[in-house]
Amino acid sequence: MITDLPLAANGPALPARFTESASARPDGATAGGALAWLADRRRAYTFEVARVPFDRLDDWAFDPETGDLGHRSGRFFTIGGLRVSTGEGWVRQWDQPIIHQPEIGVLGFLVKEIDGLLHVLTQAKMEPGNANVVQLSPTVQATRSNQRRVHRGSGVRHLEFFTDPQRARVLVDSLQSEQGSWFLGKRNRNIVVETTEDVPEHDDYRWLTIGEIQELLRLDDTVNMDARTVLACLPFARPTGAPPTGAHSAFRAALRRSMDPGEGSRHTMGSVLSWFTDATVRHEVNARPVPLNEVKGWVRTPEAISHEEGRYFSVVGARVTAGSREVGSWTQPLLAPHGMGLTALLVRNIGGVLHVLLHARPEGGHPHGVELAPTVQCTPDNYLEWPKEARPRFLDYVERVPGDRVRFDAVQSEEGGRFHWARSRYTVIDAEDDVPVEEPEDYRWLTLHQVGRLLRHSRYLNVQARSLIACLHSLW
């Protein structure tokens, strides 16, 4: 059972400190200085990403027996096969390529109090799959192979603050998942540590308040996925001060009340956990790895591995040059989605408190089969020729909703280290009375306080839901 125990060793003031930093936002619509810095870092180095055939991938090869695509070192990751069967849904069995990356990486923010206010050390990081190359990233974003320098490059800057307990104090620490449709059982350590030391300056790093980062979240392809997931795990308190005014003030007031443990929720925490456990048991997801050369319905050419109907995604090869990375150039496979994703969170005021509608969604790559997802999470192009009953629930509503119901809307990039131009429209929609309070079986209305309690732990919210929670926190 999840309880309201104090955050370990941090004291009761930690959520208030994060909230104070989130309230420190720059004047104007965007954090202009941070944008100028990101643009400067793009110009400072040579960045090139070119598609190449598989036989031009250095140190990567297909296993002659299994067909799996892996690195000669046996580290980093492997492209293998997955066979999934479920007891429900329009498609009940399928095969697909999937990324096997059993290593647990570190996604970490270093924070420090500057002039009495918490600041976050952000990084302007190049990833080969980013649509605009450089995005705002955590202080440290590294796999175990990178930490151990399997790539024979330079070390991970600032890693010592996350590995030496004498250098920093842990504020947030939890294992969280990545995309369950593209990764097999992938987990990263989402961690925030605080230091009082002087941190050496570097052109690729910049101290920002949480509020400044939240302003950047509203812009397309600016804050990367790894930063968003760590931001979602921060504990916030209900903001104090004058009540919201101006546009959508009632929405913002309900949002603030949603963060308060003393405000009413539609469901108790115990009933939410029981419902989630029941959904995990009820959805029979049988997923097992198979050799890549046994995957049905997919075709391998010298340039790509693609579905025979041209849907979903392809696996491609890339040659990368990056002047700001630990290694100046390398080759690797990337997963390239077909079509823009749609990730939508429906919210509504219930009894004066904002609630978010989460979906207990099964995905083949999740170790326990089910995690809580946004209300809608799909690539709409994949359903263009499908009958109405096969389309995701609430998709038609989201695609037709009037603009005045939209509270957040930005295109966000997914993980650029493994995916090529994987982009989704992230949107928060105030459904008001359009969506009933009574939920379908696999959906539940939760308050932000309840979501925050779940995020202290692993295996509850998937990475898309965490991204949207980070975006929702920017709307106070």
Categorize the per-residue pLDDT at 9 as very low, low, confident or very high, splitting at 50, 70 and 90: very low
DSSP strands (E only) in 146-208: 169-177, 187-194, 205-208
Categorize the per-residue pLDDT at 29 as very low, low, confident or very high, splitting at 50, 70 and 90: very low
How far CA 245 is from CA of 18, 21, 163, 249, 282, in Å, comes to 22, 20, 44, 5, 45
Q: What is the mean pLDDT of the segment spanning 158-179?
A: 96
Q: Provide the pLDDT for residue 417.
A: 94
Q: What is the mean pLDDT of the segment spanning 357-367?
A: 95
119 closest CA partner among 206, 207, 52:
207
How far CA 282 is from CA of 357, 394, 401, in Å, comes to 20, 21, 31
What string of DSSP letters covers 383-426? GTTS-GGGSPTTHHHHHH--GGGEEEEEEEE--TTTBSS-EEEE
Task: Please answer whether residues 380 and 342 qualify as being in contact, where contact means their C-beta atoms are separated by less than 8 angstroms.
Answer: yes
Share of the chain above pLDDT 90, in %: 82
Residue 27 has pLDDT above 90, yes or no: no
Pairing between strand 423-430 and 69-71?
unpaired
173 closest CA partner among 193, 194, 191, 195:
191
pTM for this one? 0.94
Q: Provide the pLDDT for residue 8.
A: 42
Instruction: Return the amino acid letter for 109.
Output: F
Q: What is the mean pLDDT of the segment spanning 200-216?
A: 96
Q: Give the chain's mean pLDDT.
A: 92
365-406 tens-digit pLDDT: 998 899 999 999 999 999 988 898 999 999 999 999 999 999
Instruction: Return the amino acid letter for 169.
Output: R
Structure tokens at 424: 């989704």
Q: Provide the pLDDT for residue 25.
A: 78
283-333 tens-digit pLDDT: 989 999 999 999 999 999 999 999 999 999 999 999 999 877 677 889 999
Enumerate the β-bridge partners of residue 223: 136
**3-state secondary structure labels for all residues of 46-71:** CEEEEEECHHHCCCEEECCCCCCEEE
Q: Provide the pLDDT for residue 88.
A: 78
Instruction: State how far the Cα of 40 lies from the Cα of 31, in Å rounded to an integer.
Output: 14
In the chain, what are the domain boundaries? 249-285+338-473
Q: Which CATH superfamily is domain 249-285+338-473 in?
A: EvaA sugar 2,3-dehydratase subunit (3.90.79.40)
58-109 tens-digit pLDDT: 999 999 999 999 999 998 999 999 999 987 778 889 999 999 998 899 999 9
